[in-house]
Each structure stands twice: as structure tokens, then as C-alpha cells.
A and B are shown apart, each in its own frame.
Chain A
């Protein structure tokens, strides 16, 4: 295929971070889980106790799927990591697949590349190769982490192979969606919907113990049984067939569609703007409503399910699970705020903010609207997740006082979520390219909430996460001082953001 090496080289040179970062993050999670599980289940008695709890738990089946070989340390590792792997790897995979096969085209860089002496298919196949490299790197690093942690070498190799195939399945799904739809955003939306559909199907199959594990790739992962004495071959073969099928279909559609288009024609829009689309606020709301709604729906489904099954998952006490639930709601709400902040900055980087500010809105009004909408997204998300998780808890425990408690605890965590969003907005006021840095704080807050004990993080490191500042509500008493301090910081940050944005050059216009 003419130009494949050159195209792959361009992709790797310009997007090498997309090869390295996902692989390192996944391998890091594998390493942290592998090391801590070795410590937590050191002998046969601990493993037998674990197997008994897990086998009977509905919640475990919902979030982690069926477990196999649970009396072996490898089996426990596979089961425990499934909660993250089943969710994270497919989402990262489809994003990586779409990024490598579609992003250059969306940015209009591909026209000039394909005008050269390269095959029409080279960008798609090159993107798939780069995606495969990401998967391979994640798999190799994970294998090394497992072996270094003292796991069985053959089992580790098979688990790493299963991870490779699962990751590749998601990447090829992303690549296929990237060829079917008109742009990255539509492709990501569709591919994530497919992943969520498979996830729900897998949950139903595992909870109801249906004999249909062949029907969803998210079930195949557990069925690879890497730490069994004689692992079955069929899940590996099914993965291979699905990967080949999706990749070939993606390549087929790449030969059939126009550059810059997809397989589906665009629907016509209104000839005039509606009466509500009148100013900066409504325009910004229109721009961020899709992303905010997606976070609300996905986060809401998880919050309700988590609340509903919190009792079943309460191996270390129900209150500990409720604390985690409240913290996760705050982190999801903060993520919604960061997404809005990034959308706001993208307007500036694209030149559209310059166009808007060539009209009557002042810079202060434009920025203030961005702040209000980002904060509204945070508050709405936290409130909705509070209601849904409270509803799940109340239904599950048949105790409606839990609903009020959930609302109160979530409200107490709200300043932390707002602070993270405020930081992102303040970074954006300095430079439109900076708001994404706030993701590191969101990610760190998630690591602290989910893995602080396992990673034995010091108090200082835990307190980098603003979610820790309020106290572990509702178990600990709420720290009004900390919340007031956070509100003060938010006010100062937003004041500075307004002043700085008013005085600096726009990035583009």
C-alpha cells in the first residue's frame, strides 16, 4: 500500500502522546491493582472468603461480571480489575481508534496529505496500525507489571493477550465508526453508545445468568479465563474475528465515502434561528448542551446503579460506599464543568469568540456567561446525580431518609466540584489552550477516591484532591471552614479570570 509507512510516520510524529499516555495509564492501573491484591489476599483462607462474597454478590455481577478461578490470586486480580477494565478500555479504545483514523481529516490536514502519492486507504490503515501500537504497548507493559508483581507467567501472558484483543476490538470499533459518520464527534457518540449497550447487555446476562456470553465482547473478556488450567480458545478467536471484521468493514467504507464525509447524508437544519437563540448565553448553552447531557445521562445511570447496589457492594461497610458514591458524583460534576470550560476555550481557538466579540457583547459579559454556564453544569450534574443515587439507595434500603442524606452530602461536596471547574475557567482566561490541564486534577481526585488506600497514599497527596477537603461526608462531619475557604478561592479565581480575559489579546479572531 503506497504511502502507508509515511502516513503512519506522520501520525506517530504528531500524535505519539496518544500511543504512550493510554498505554501507561492502563498499565499503571494494572500495576497498582496487581501489587495491592497480592497484599490483600496473601493466603488460601482469604481467597476462599473472597470467592464466597463475590460469587453471591449481584452488585459484583453488575459492575465486574462473572468471575472465574476466584481462589487463585490471578483470578482475583482479573475479577477486581474488571470493574475498571470493562469501562475504561472500551471508552479509551474507541477514542484512540477515532483519533488516529479521523482526526487529521476533521482538521482538514488530510486533503493535502492524500493529494500526494499515497494510497486512498493509507490514512485509515495507518491509523489502525497506530491504534494497534497503543494496544500492544498497553499489553506489554501490563504483562511486565504482572510478572514483576509475582503473578504466574503463563496466566499473565494470557491476561495481557486478552487485554490486547479487548483493546483492539474497541480501537477497531472506533475506526469503523470513524468511517461511517461525518466527523469525530458523531463517530464518538455512536461508538460510545454501542459500548454502553454492550455493557448493559453484559450486566443483564451476568445478573440473570443467561447462557449468552457469546453475544457481547464485554463478556468475552472474562470468558478468556487466563488463569485457568485450560483456558478456552473460543473467546480469543471471537475477538480476532470481531477485530478483523470491524477493521475490514472500516477499510471498505473508507473506499466508498467522500473525504470529509461519512456514509450518511447530513440532515437539513432550520432556515432561521429560533426565538431562544438570541445572545451569548443561549448560544453557549446550545454549544455545550450535548456534552453536558451525555455526562448527565451516563453519570446518572452509574449513580443510580451504584446507589441501588451499594448495599450488596458493602464489603467494607455501607457508609464507606456512600462516601465513595458522593465523591464520585462530585468528580463527575467537576468533569461536566471542565467540559464546558474547554468548549468555551475552543470557541476562542477557532476564532468564533473573536467573531462574537466583534458584535455588541462585551468581553466581561461573554466570559461571565461562560462562568455561569460552567457552574450551572456542575450544579445541575451534582444535583441530578444526588437525586438518582439517593433514589437508588432509598429503593434498595427501603429507607427514604437516605434520599435527604444523599442530597445533603452531595450539596456539601459541591464547592469542591465548583473549585475544579473554576480552576479550568481561570486557566482558560490566561490562555485558551490551558483549561485541559484541569483534567489532571479530576483524574487525581478519581485516583484518590478509588485507589488511595490500595496505593497507600500519604495524607498530603490525598489532600491535593479538593474532594478530600470537605471531609468524608456523610461519615465525617462536614467542614464548613473548608467549604467557605473553597468558595472564597472560587470567587477570587473568577474575579481574576474576568480581569485577565478583559485585558489580553484574543488567540484568534
Chain B
């Protein structure tokens, strides 16, 4: 049942999105298997995961398009299924695969979408059309994927929403438009609005998001700030010592250990969790440390370590030597 209750609640909930233990199956396929997500009001939240992990299913559940098999799903305190219209009053949405009406022009499509979501700011609409360099007089059937995406972005950002649900919003956009997108998101962030940004573009997530959640196989793998996630991922260490640091072989925290003799010295590379760095330093110093480089994990490494099947966020120690 849907209740068209008033949009803004009297006492503003602290959380923009509160999804707990979401479960959704399509036949034998479990799309969401106990997934949880919280997005604070005023936060830009990255939503990451491999293809088919359950990102779009989550967003469709948040919009009340899918009936969950279990779990609780609320936006600003409103139940996403029972009170979908109250939710939609405060939400703007950009789908990943934008389907538009062939017979309408781009301008007509933007206006129709704006009117369906309760209106919008016309001056803002025109400003966004200019910013995204969209020819609104063209029929949408002649639009490229990028231009269709721009229509959805302009229609969503022209709405003064409290929460923006963006499902891979920049797929198909060129780098200049990507910059325009990031500028718009920053403006929205400055005005205190919340954004859930599902994306595969890691640099975009790094540039825009306060926190992020990683989903895999319908389950939460990690949910934290990027810095915290980096802290949980292994550091890359390259050390030059006078002798071979044999004791490292015995350390349970060292991963991918490779040593080789170069000009009478031993060059050793390995990975180690940040918390274990203190343990390995005495071993390196004891072996006559003459050079040391410690690199934080790249963004790609952070995500890949969480994306890979069977790889848990916390590393399993494996050591090898040559």
C-alpha cells in the first residue's frame, strides 16, 4: 500500500538512508542477501561493487520498485515500499541505463521528468542544460548514450531534492562532462544534500565521496571512509638490507615476500598490514637496513581486494621467497 504522506517529517531523521538486512531473490538468484547500508544526512556516499553484486537492485528497492523478501528499508524515516510517494517527494534519481521517449525532444523529456517528480527550478534547468552542453531540440531517438544520460542528470539535478540516488550516472559521458558532473555534485554537497553514488569510476568516488560501501554477492563487504579502508589494506614495502632478512619468513603478517641479491645487498619486497609494520621494522633494522620505501595501497588495490571472490577485507598471510 502507498501513502501519499507529507514530504518532510517534523523531526528530521539523522539518516538519509537506513537499509538493514535487505533480502531479495529473483527465482533461485539471491540478489540481496542480508545487505545493509546507512547514509547520513548531508553525506556523499559511494556505492561500489562488481557487476551483478546488487547495486541496482538496492537502488530499485530504495525507490520502492521492488518488493523485498526481508529487511527494512527507510529514506528519511519513510518506509520505501509503504510510503514510496513520500520518499519520492524528497528523492531525485538518475538510472544507469536511461530510456527516453522516442517521439519527444530532449527538452520535452527533461520537462516531463521534472513535472513527474513534482517540478523543479527552471533557471537551474537551463543552467544545467548549458553546463552539460545538451542540444535539447534534438529528438531523443537520435541521442547517444551520453546525451540520454545528460537528460536524466539535468532533470534530476534541477530538482531541489534532499537525496540524490545516482546509479552509474556518468557512464557514457566524456571527461569534460565528467568534470561538469563533479562540479554539480560538489555544489549539491555544499548545500547539505545527501547523495548515494553508485559508480565504477574509482577516481570519481575518491574525489567526491565522504564514505563508501562495497557490496559483493548481495552482502556488505565493507562500509567506511576511504582512509579507513586504505588502513585495512596492506602496505607495499620495498627494503634494501645488508643481509637477507630471514626472520620475515616466519612472520605471519607478511604477504608476497620476494627477495633477491643485487650487488652484495638484499632487495626485499613484501606487503604487510599497517598494524603489523611495527613488528617487521626490527627485523629489517637487524638485517642492516640501508633503504626503505613504504607505499600506501592504491585505490585500485583497495577496491580489488574487496571485489575479489573469496578475498576477505582482512588479509590471509602467505609468504614466499626466491
Interface residues of A (CB under 8 A from B): 182-183, 185, 266-274, 277-280, 283, 286-287, 290, 350-352, 354-364, 502-506, 509
Q: Is B223 an interface residue (CB 8 A)?
A: no
> Shortest beta-carbon distance, A368 to chain B, in Å?
13
A272 touches B63 (CB 8 A): no
> Shortest beta-carbon distance, B123 to chain A, in Å?
13
A362 touches B2 (CB 8 A): yes
A272 touches B85 (CB 8 A): no
Name the A residues within 8 Å of B137 (CB-CB): 268-271
| Other contacts beyond A352-B99, A357-B84, A360-B88: 8, CB < 8 A | A271-B107, A273-B104, A273-B110, A351-B97, A354-B63, A358-B91, A359-B113, A505-B66
Q: Is B93 an interface residue (CB 8 A)?
A: yes
A272 touches B111 (CB 8 A): yes
Interface hits, B203-224 → A, CB 8 Å: none
Once A266-B138, A268-B137, A354-B60 are accepted as A-B contacts, the answer to whether A360 and B85 lie under 8 Å apart by CB is: yes
Q: Is B229 an interface residue (CB 8 A)?
A: no
B65 touches A360 (CB 8 A): no
Interface hits, B34-61 → A, CB 8 Å: 60
A270 touches B141 (CB 8 A): no
The CB with the most chain B CB atoms within 10 A, among A280, A355, A357, A363, is that of A355
Interface residues of B (CB under 8 A from A): 1-2, 4, 60, 63-67, 84-85, 88-89, 91, 93, 95, 97-108, 110-113, 115-118, 136-139, 141-142, 152
> Shortest beta-carbon distance, A347 to chain B, in Å?
9
Name the A residues within 8 Å of B98 (CB-CB): 355
A287 touches B101 (CB 8 A): yes
A506 touches B65 (CB 8 A): yes
> Shortest beta-carbon distance, A461 to chain B, in Å?
37
A355 touches B142 (CB 8 A): no
> Shortest beta-carbon distance, B98 to chain A, in Å?
8
Among candidates B89, B115, B139, residue contacting A266 with C-beta atoms closer than 8 Å: B139
Among candidates A273, A280, A350, A358, residue contacting B93 with C-beta atoms closer than 8 Å: A358
A355 touches B95 (CB 8 A): yes
Among candidates A271, A352, A359, A504, residue contacting B88 with C-beta atoms closer than 8 Å: A359
Among candidates A286, A360, A503, residue contacting B118 with C-beta atoms closer than 8 Å: A360
CA separation between A286 and B107, bound complex, in Å?
A: 15
Once A268-B137, A504-B67 are accepted as A-B contacts, the answer to whether A360 and B116 lie under 8 Å apart by CB is: yes
CA separation between A266 and B141, bound complex, in Å?
A: 9
Among candidates B101, B111, B118, residue contacting A352 with C-beta atoms closer than 8 Å: B101
A351 touches B99 (CB 8 A): yes
CA separation between A358 and B62, bound complex, in Å?
A: 10
> Shortest beta-carbon distance, A433 to chain B, in Å?
15
Name the B residues within 8 Å of A351 (CB-CB): 95, 97, 99
A363 touches B2 (CB 8 A): yes
Among candidates A268, A274, A363, residue contacting B138 with C-beta atoms closer than 8 Å: A268
3 cross-chain pairs, A with B, having the tightest CB-CB distances, nearest first: A269-B105, A273-B111, A359-B116
B103 touches A286 (CB 8 A): yes
A183 touches B102 (CB 8 A): yes
> Shortest beta-carbon distance, A164 to chain B, in Å?
35
Q: Find the B residue at minimum CB distance from A356.
A: B116
CA separation between A496 and B116, bound complex, in Å?
A: 26
B88 touches A273 (CB 8 A): no
CA separation between A278 and B89, bound complex, in Å?
A: 17
**Complex A-B: 25 CB contacts under 8 Å:** A266-B139, A269-B108, A269-B138, A269-B139, A270-B105, A271-B137, A273-B107, A273-B112, A277-B115, A283-B101, A286-B104, A352-B100, A354-B60, A355-B152, A359-B113, A360-B88, A360-B89, A362-B4, A362-B84, A362-B85, A363-B84, A502-B1, A504-B67, A505-B67, A509-B60
CA separation between A287 and B109, bound complex, in Å?
A: 12
CA separation between A506 and B103, bound complex, in Å?
A: 23
> Shortest beta-carbon distance, B225 to chain A, in Å?
29
CA separation between A364 and B2, bound complex, in Å?
A: 9
Q: Find the A residue at minimum CB distance from B86.
A: A360
CA separation between A273 and B67, bound complex, in Å?
A: 33
CA separation between A126 and B108, bound complex, in Å?
A: 38
B108 touches A359 (CB 8 A): no
> Shortest beta-carbon distance, A280 to chain B, in Å?
7
Once A271-B105, A287-B103, A360-B89 are accepted as A-B contacts, the answer to whether A279 and B66 lie under 8 Å apart by CB is: no
> Shortest beta-carbon distance, A276 to chain B, in Å?
11
Once A266-B138, A509-B63 are accepted as A-B contacts, the answer to whether A359 and B105 lie under 8 Å apart by CB is: no
Once A270-B105, A271-B136, A505-B65 are accepted as A-B contacts, the answer to whether A361 and B116 lie under 8 Å apart by CB is: yes
CA separation between A271 and B130, bound complex, in Å?
A: 13
Q: Find the B residue at minimum CB distance from A355.
A: B95
Once A351-B99, A360-B89, A362-B85 are accepted as A-B contacts, the answer to whether A509 and B117 lie under 8 Å apart by CB is: no
Once A269-B104, A351-B95, A509-B65 are accepted as A-B contacts, the answer to whether A358 and B142 lie under 8 Å apart by CB is: no
Name the A residues within 8 Å of B89 (CB-CB): 360
Name the B residues within 8 Å of A355 (CB-CB): 93, 95, 98-99, 113, 152
Among candidates B4, B105, B118, residue contacting A268 with C-beta atoms closer than 8 Å: B105
B115 touches A278 (CB 8 A): yes
Name the B residues within 8 Å of A183 (CB-CB): 102, 141
Name the A residues within 8 Å of B91 (CB-CB): 358
> Shortest beta-carbon distance, B68 to chain A, in Å?
10
Name the B residues within 8 Å of A354 (CB-CB): 60, 63, 65, 95
CA separation between A506 and B64, bound complex, in Å?
A: 9
> Shortest beta-carbon distance, B30 to chain A, in Å?
15
Name the B residues within 8 Å of A509 (CB-CB): 60, 63, 65, 95
The CB with the most chain A CB atoms within 10 A, among B104, B112, B136, is that of B112
CA separation between A279 and B65, bound complex, in Å?
A: 19
Q: Find the A residue at minimum CB distance from B62.
A: A358
Name the B residues within 8 Å of A182 (CB-CB): 141-142
CA separation between A279 and B117, bound complex, in Å?
A: 10
Name the B residues within 8 Å of A272 (CB-CB): 107-108, 111, 136
CA separation between A362 and B65, bound complex, in Å?
A: 11
A266 touches B142 (CB 8 A): yes
Once A354-B65, A355-B95 are accepted as A-B contacts, the answer to whether A280 and B104 lie under 8 Å apart by CB is: no
CA separation between A182 and B137, bound complex, in Å?
A: 17
